[in-house]
Structure 1
Amino acid sequence: MTSLRGLLVTASAVLLSPLAYADFTASPSEAEAIAKEAYLYGFPVVEMYKTLYAQAVKADGPDYKAPFNKVGNTARVFTPKDTAFVTPNSDTPYSFVWLDLRSEPQILTMPAIEKNRYYSAQMIDLYTHNFDYLGTRTTGNEGGDFLVAGPGWKGSTPAGIAKTLKSEGDIVYVLIRTQLFDEKDLANVKKIQQGYAVQPLSSYLKKSAPAAAPDINWPQPQAGMSETPALFRYLDFVLGFAQPVASEKALFERFSKIGVGPGEKFDEGKLSADQLAALQRGIDAGKAEFAEFKKTKIDTHQVESGDFFGTREHLKNNYLYRYVGANVGIFGNSSAEASYIGYFTDAKGSPVNAAQKTYTLHFNKGELPPAQAFWSLTMYDGKTKLLVDNPINRYLINSRMLDQLQMDPDGGLTLYVQHESPGKNKESNWLPAPNGPFYSVLRIYMPTAKFSEGQWKLPMLFPAAK
């Protein structure tokens, strides 16, 4: 017979058991399926949070740019030492702005610049949607003052404001790109960057400021947070600043069964080993789906970068596509602003590896990438997804370098993509690769109709044995 004391001990153990976690009601098989879905949904959000923390919160960190509602300028192009986000471009020095719109809108000022220079302000919400743009393509190079408001603002656009931009969430990432022509042009870019500015609406109107929003206790990122069930804890936190839309109601009813969603407080520390294992299986299934999609659709160029980046309306709540964008090149531009073509495989369909082969990329005469602004081909390490350190400090070849490149006798252009130098007579056309797996990205800024209508044929990377 069980003693009264034994019953009390048993009851206490049940109350303290991870199985008693009230926010986790799914069975193991159900939890696995939900976790896969929630992982694909939440990965971009959590990856964005990692960038937010590094650039706007951790003031003593190497990737810190500026506090909220201030502009942080990087008056240089990216190098292998920059690690805040993967697959960065190195054509356009960046300016970074993290807007906190909880108490009131913010006014973003774009300076007027010369007509032949490209610049853009990419407006990104916490889901990684590009919800709007300012700059050359959309508002021109004349500059102006622009109002950025969160979902709760009900005011009218003041006089002097060129455009009002509304975000789904209370935090917005503004990623500003300013075209750099060459190293001698850096002083001009710095001057333009000094013209980017942010101020509260109350300051712009010369009125008293509203009550300040409460301070935020930002959770410090941890190793593996995007690859384990810990992701769901960070996702719950970020969703507090960007409530899901009506079209996601049913989605979050499912997510709530594992403690994920706005108002939820997922805690992996309260789960049993079986529950954690089910969630991890779901995450791994999501990764496997991406790997298969990349192999069959991305590497074969059956889908374009423009499918993965854009507004919510453009993406149509396709969470796999949003995940792909965040995984292969987070904060990529919408297709009208720039198109990205990834070279992950060669012309024979094999993964590219500069430790095993050398490669050439040939453009026929008159068939250079069709860009209204400019184009570039940038090299990345296949393992780190970062720029590649090399002896000539060249991370890309772009259209501004054409007068320095050696053209073929027939007027075409051949680029040499390999680890070792192709020789002094060809080094002007050399894009250095790591001694191992790599990928390169062809960016076409403001692509012409020739590209968007499919009239331009993409050249392939042709391999040769070393």
Structure 2
Amino acid sequence: MTVLSKILTSALLGSALCSASAAWAEEANPFEGDAAVKTRIGELNFQSGYPSAETVKKLYDEMDFQRASQAYLWGIPAVGMNEWRRAHYSVFGGKSGEMLTYLDFAEKLGILTPNYTTPYIATFIDLKETGPFVVEVPPGLIAGMILDPWQRVLADLGVVGPDMGKGGKYLIMPPGYGPVEAPGYFVVQATSRDVFAGFRLLDADKEKAIAEMIPQIKTYSWTVEGTGEPMPARAAGDKKWSQMPPRGMTYWDSLNEVIQRNPIDERDRLILAQLKFLGLERGRPFKPDERQSKLLQDGVLVGEAMAKANTTDKRVEPPFWEGTNWKHALVVATDQKANTYDQLDERAAWFYEAVVISKAMLTQTVGVGQRYIASYKDADGAWLSGENTYKLHVPANPPAKNFWSVTAYDEATRQMPVTEQGRPDISSRKEDIVANEDGSVDVYFGPKAPEGKEANWVQTNPDKGWFAYFRFYGPTEAFFDKSWALPDIEKVNP
């Protein structure tokens, strides 16, 4: 660059800066002098540019309320998992690492959006209590996962895990343990004190799978010198419980418990900096004062309202089949990370209404794993409501190697609806399902079965909202290339 060019460039840059500075200086300052500023949170008063005492209080209350409502969304995966952890110990009397089975409607009733047709087996492990711990997975058509308290995947188990359906021993190492030599084990490094381990049995012969696989499931402690006494799986039992994130101050009590028990991630430090002013801080007793409690309760109320919108009217992605109301139910990655950010709305959308995640549940492999598609609206764009009768036409040859199922869930609880029928699901494994001549199936939802359609009917509760999950087990190529498509649920005359 010549000397003249440098001079001209400097002159132009100086002129631009002067212009920008002049424009800024001319811009009106809403806070200058004695001012009353109208905002979406009401009028804010300033004296000589400084906020009045009343305005300072209003602004801090608004700051803390906004932080509480956003922290509600942030805490959903941890609180949902912690409510199940609490139930494992206090409701079911489970030991740390003891596998409990959830096999029928009554046992699964407290779980968020469980599949009615598949047996569940799950446990919670306190690694501070147990030390290194082993989960033995039997061979067969089984899928599962090991998760941290925020429901991030530490390992997949079964057909999509490293054992590839052949069974294996998974050694879970607590935080702070160095590398170990453990021949014959799949070593999983935990990042937290509390971990979840669970799986579902997917074999077509459900009773055979229960009889043969569950006795092979064992858990026990591990040291370099040897292993502890194996614990067999046992029935959770028919007990009333709920895995739903609670409301009011109980929500924050549960979230505080997770924070106090487990290491803090780097990604969460800014959120915890905000919660400090609401009385929630790692290493300190959670004793919010009257003002903080009021703001926290308001935050839960508005936060859950936001969670409902964020879940049932997802804006994080378009419909799965163009022109329909069907969207991915599971919109979060297994590590809760996108390319340029950590997922917040995505994980809140899934974990508000569901529990657990695995690579298998987000499969991209033809014929392996599962995929879940959800709908909350009918073909006219109206919310699904239990007093109406609806029909879902399932075209012939659904792209599912193993089986497909469609399940209705209660909007208020995100659990299976309690009805006289006691069966919220229709699946291709239902023995008396009635198919049309072309191989398609019509599924009906409503308070009463349309005449002659009892075998293909799912009962709903009048005046209660509901939504549907359509699950593909072993999705085939037509699912991925979308050459097969599911139409919207249609409102029909009963």
For the criterion TM > 0.5, the same-fold answer is yes
Matched, 1:313 2:337: yes
The amino acid of 2:111's aligned partner reads: F
In structure 2, the CA distance between the partners of 1:452 and 1:222, relative to structure 1 (3 Å rule), is closer
Q: Is 1:50 aligned with 2:50? A: no
Verify the 8 A CA contact 1:108 1:147 in the aligned structure 2: yes
Q: Which digits, 9 at most, give the CA deviation of each residue in 1:423-453, with x for residues without a partner?
A: 23x2222222223332221122343344344
The residue identity in structure 1 corresponding to 2:487 is P
Distance 1:362 1:264 in 2: 55
For the structure 1 residues 172 and 222, does the alpha-carbon distance in structure 2 shift closer, same or farther, using more than 3 Å as the test? Answer: closer
Point out where structure 2 has 5 or more consecutive residues left out of the alignment.
1-58, 230-240, 364-368
Matched AA of 1:430: W
Q: How many residues align?
A: 407
- What TM-score do the two structures reach when normalised by structure 2? 0.74
Change (3 A) 1:92 1:345: same
Give the drift of 1:109: 0.8
Task: Quote how far apart the aligned CAs of 1:309 are.
Answer: 5.6
In 2, the alpha carbon distance for the partners of 1:427 and 1:252 equals: 52
Q: Which has the larger radius of gyration?
A: 2
> 1:41 is matched with which residue?
74
Q: Does structure 1 residue 361 correspond to structure 2 residue 381?
A: no
Distance in 2 (CA, whole Å) between partners of 1:109 and 1:197 is 5
Q: RMSD in angstroms over aligned alpha carbons?
A: 3.0
Residue number in structure 1 paired with 2:375: 343
Which letter maps to 1:192? M
Equivalents in 2 of 1:223, 1:196: separation in Å? Answer: 24
Task: Name the counterpart of 2:215.
Answer: 194
CA-CA distance at 1:302 after TM superposition = 7.5
Alpha-carbon deviation of 1:51? Answer: 1.0
Q: Tell me the residue number matched to 1:206.
A: 226
Q: Is contact 2:406–2:425 with CA below 8 Å preserved after alignment?
A: yes
The amino acid across from 1:359 in the alignment is Y
Q: How far 1:222 moved relative to its partner?
A: 12
SS of structure 1 residue aligned to 2:293: helix
Offset of residue 361 of structure 1: 0.8
**Partner of 2:313 in structure 1?**
296
Judging changes above 3 Å, is the alpha-carbon distance between structure 1 residues 178 and 455 closer, same or farther for their aligned structure 2 residues?
same
User: How is 1:65-464 mapped onto 2 (pairs within 5 angstroms)?
Assistant: 66-74=94-102, 76-79=103-106, 82-102=108-128, 104-113=131-140, 118-138=141-161, 139-161=163-185, 163-179=186-202, 181=204, 185-202=206-223, 205-206=225-226, 226-268=246-288, 271-272=289-290, 274-297=291-314, 301=325, 304-308=328-332, 310-313=334-337, 316-333=341-358, 334-336=361-363, 337-355=369-387, 357-366=388-397, 368=398, 370-401=399-430, 404-424=432-452, 426-437=453-464, 438-464=466-492
Corresponding residue of 1:14: none
Range with greater deviation from structure 2 (336-345 or 315-324): 315-324
Structure 1 unaligned regions, length at least 5: 1-25, 210-220
SS at match of 1:243: coil
- Aligned-partner SS, 1:275: helix
Aligned-residue identity in percent: 21
Q: In structure 2, do the counterparts of structure 1 residues 48 and 223 end up closer, same or farther at CA, with 3 Å as the change threshold?
A: closer
The residue type paired with residue 198 of structure 1 is: T
Could you tell me how far apart the structure 2 residues matched to 1:439 and 1:404 are? Answer: 24
- Give SS of 1:256's match: helix
Q: How has the CA–CA distance of structure 1 residues 264 and 449 changed in structure 2, closer, same or farther, with 3 Å as cutoff?
A: farther
